[in-house]
Structure 1
Amino acid sequence: MKQVFSLGGTIVVEEIDAPICDENAILVMNAYSAISVGTEKTTVSKKQDSSLIKRLLNKENVKKGYAMVREKGLKHTLQIVKKTSTPILVPLGYSTAGRVIVVGKNVTNFTPGDMVACAGEGYATHAEIVEIPKNLACKIPKGVELKEATFATLGAIALQGIRRTNATLGETVVVTGLGILGQFTCQMLSAAGMRVIGIDLLDERLKIAKANGADLVLNPEKSDIEKEVAKFTADVGADAVIICAGTASTEPVHQGMRISRKKGRIIIVGAVGMEL
């Protein structure tokens, strides 16, 4: 079967063996898999660095490296590290929908042929067939298309972000980053009676958020975010800020601190810089 991976910062499609079904899991033939652009872009850029750091911090590797530096010098040691740092395959994706084809012996709530939505990094990946633990899948209700159900995990993530804010009716919540997670978050907040401010660098995303219930949308390149939020909240500040952006920059977090009220809540749903 085919599966999508990150390999040293590059996206590749590899032909691999289909997974074997664990007794507490199901095998699903994927029909669709959702791409969360910001999150997966960050994953691709970070995973290889993370795996290299883990190898370098291995005790045996540290001992060998120290001995090599003493004997051969730092420059030679760094060249050796670079040559031996072979990229590894990192599976991508975490939200899919498809048809159950195999059921583990301890699984009682699914049968072959069921249409399911699946979740989980490392499980609900961009692959033809995936092995999903029984607690990371749910049957798709009648009337819901497979293509729509593919986004169930992203919707659940957005909902959990909102829950963590403990926001109540009438409070002001800022959503930074209006990709798909940010759009879901804005719509849910609006439906729950919150006052919603959406922030993004792309005007097209701002238009979508505004059309779907956001009370105020702002582009940091065109508006003074702190001034506009203060004006909207009568100089009180936002009750909560939900960061759905995907960037290595720490600015979304710092900005969230500046625009939230005293004892406001900042929830990070996306993947952003955390050098606070």
Structure 2
Amino acid sequence: MRNRKIMFVSPNQVETVEETFTAQTLGENEVLVQLIYSLISPGTELAMLAGTEWWAKLPLNPGYASVSRIIEAGAGVKDVQVGDAVFHYGSHSEYQVLEVKDVVLKVPDGLDLRWVPFTRMATVAFTSVRVSNIELGDKVSVSGLGLVGNLAAQLARLQGATVIGVDLSQERLKTARVCGVDYALDGSSGKVKEELMALTNGQGVSSHIEATGISKVAVDSLEYIGSQGEIILLGSPRGEYNTDITEVLNYCHLYNRGCITFKGAHEWRYPTEPNQFVKHSLVRNSKIVFELMQQNRLQIEPLISHVIKPEQASEAYAGLRNNKDQYNGVLFDWA
């Protein structure tokens, strides 16, 4: 078989290549799949493409979230079968062999296959809500309304909060409003703190979800948070930022409102499979996301900005890097 795949050849150089895919004898719990759609994760993949991630040595075949069709299954595979459409974590490669013990889940009948790869972004966002103290009636702010931030804002609303989103991009603010976020504030206005305090009657928010991954934004966001509040680090911090850490810690511990809690919300804090010792898992969260999509309680369609061919990969990554107002949810259509 001829296999197409996307390669990060060197920093900021993307190529779509073809190679011969040699079918192998599958292990008992393996499946061979053919991609239908795969989704770019802008934060993680652009960092990989820049060559700044120590764990992602170039050249490499990137990827994050996909929906595929099973074309062959090992003898021990039980929960899925040949012909099923499945959601999985995987690379931008047309043919792949997957271990079913990883996240390989049958897609519910009738679910739009273009939406399915966004399940991964939603489960990443889910972690911020899982670790939080968000309750019905709370005021919550989210900085950064890209895919993960937008979905975190939607999930916080489903938790019962009034959500205030903050972003520099007018397009992302517009998309957030379409997705039901209660308030969308322009981060470039210079009036975010003033506007946010007005919306919270001068109290500040009880929870702030930081989804940009920019350390300075996280520190600046502390002044939005009320007494006994929390800041949840959803976006992985990247890039150097120099500040007086004692001043930051004293602000959280003593000054102004005080007693602000920092929480990390990386997706891998939870196990892949459910077990009797931990309530939440990646599989459980993924299945809940399927249900929310089916019920139209989680808005995915407004997040899709482009559906393009794998041969346009270089254009897609350049757009995500240089034109963030127009490029957001970019799907590769492998059909």
TM range (shorter): 0.7 to 0.9
Q: Is 1:149 aligned to residue 116 of structure 2?
A: yes
Please identify the structure whose Cα radius of gyration is greater: 1
Instruction: Name the SS for the 1:90 alignment partner.
Output: coil
Asked if 2 retains the 8 angstrom alpha-carbon contact of 1:95 and 1:150, the reply is: yes
Instruction: Give the aligned partner of residue 113 of structure 1.
Output: 83
Alpha-carbon distance in structure 1 between the residues aligned to 2:77 and 2:181: 42
Could you tell me which runs of 5 or more consecutive residues in structure 2 were left unpaired when the two chains were aligned. Answer: 246-335
The SS at the match of 2:175 is: helix
1:161 aligns with 2:128: yes
Describe the SS at the equivalent of 1:147: coil
How many residues get paired?
A: 235
- Cα shift at 1:243: 2.1
Which of residues 45, 50, 54 in structure 2 aligns to 1:50?
A: 54
Q: CA deviation at 1:178?
A: 0.9
Mark the CA change 1:146 to 1:212 in structure 2 (over 3 Å): closer, same or farther: closer
Of 185, 190, 209, the residue aligned with 2:152 is 185
Counterpart of 1:130, as a letter, is Q
Cα distance in structure 2, aligned partners of 1:46 and 1:218: 33
**Is 1:175 matched up with 2:142?**
yes
Deviations 1:195-229 (A, max 9, x none): 10111111111112123222221122114222222
3-state SS of 2:70 partner: strand
Q: CA deviation at 1:130?
A: 2.2
Which residue number corresponds to residue 76 of structure 1? none
Per the alignment, residue 11 of structure 1 pairs with 14
Q: Does 1:226 align with 2:193?
A: yes
Normalised to the residue count of structure 2, the TM-score between the two structures is 0.64
Match of 2:179 in 1: 212
What's the TM-score once normalised by structure 1's chain length? 0.76
Deviation of the 1:26 alpha carbon: 2.0
Distance 2:110 2:138 in 1: 34
Task: Show the counterpart of 2:37.
Answer: 32
Correspondence for 1:128: 94
Contact 1:92–1:126 under 8 Å retained in 2:
yes
Q: Hey, which of these two has a bigger chunk of helix by percent?
A: 1
**Residue in structure 2 matched with residue 2 of structure 1 by the alignment:** 4
* Aligned residues: CA RMSD: 2.4
> Who is 1:260 aligned against?
225
- Separation of aligned partners in 1, 2:227 and 2:238: 23
Give the superposition deviation at 1:139.
Answer: 0.6
Please give the secondary structure, in 2, of the residue aligned with 1:138: strand
SS in 2 for 1:245: coil
Q: Separation in 2 of the partners of 1:224 and 1:206?
A: 15
Q: Which stretch has the larger CA shift, 104-113 or 201-210?
A: 104-113
1:102 and 2:72 are equivalent in the alignment: yes
Query: Counterpart of 2:315?
Result: none
Question: Per-residue deviation at 1:264?
Answer: 2.2
Amino acid at match of 2:176: A
- What is aligned with 1:273? 238
The percent identity for this pair of structures is: 27
1 CA distance for matches of 2:97 and 2:111?
23
Q: 1:226 to 1:17 in 2, by over 3 A?
A: farther
Q: How many Å separate the matches in 1 of 2:164 and 2:236? A: 20
- How far does residue 151 in structure 1 lie from its aligned partner after superposition? 1.5
Is the Cα–Cα contact under 8 Å of residues 6 and 92 in structure 2 kept in the other structure? yes
- Residues 263, 105 of structure 1: alpha-carbon distance in 2 compared, 3 angstrom cutoff: farther
Which segment is superposed worse, 173-182 or 193-202? 173-182
Q: Is the 8 Å Cα contact of residues 134 and 159 (structure 2) preserved in structure 1?
A: no
Q: Which residue of 1 aligns with 2:326?
A: none
Gaps of 5+ in 1: 53-86
Q: Secondary structure at the match of 2:151?
A: helix
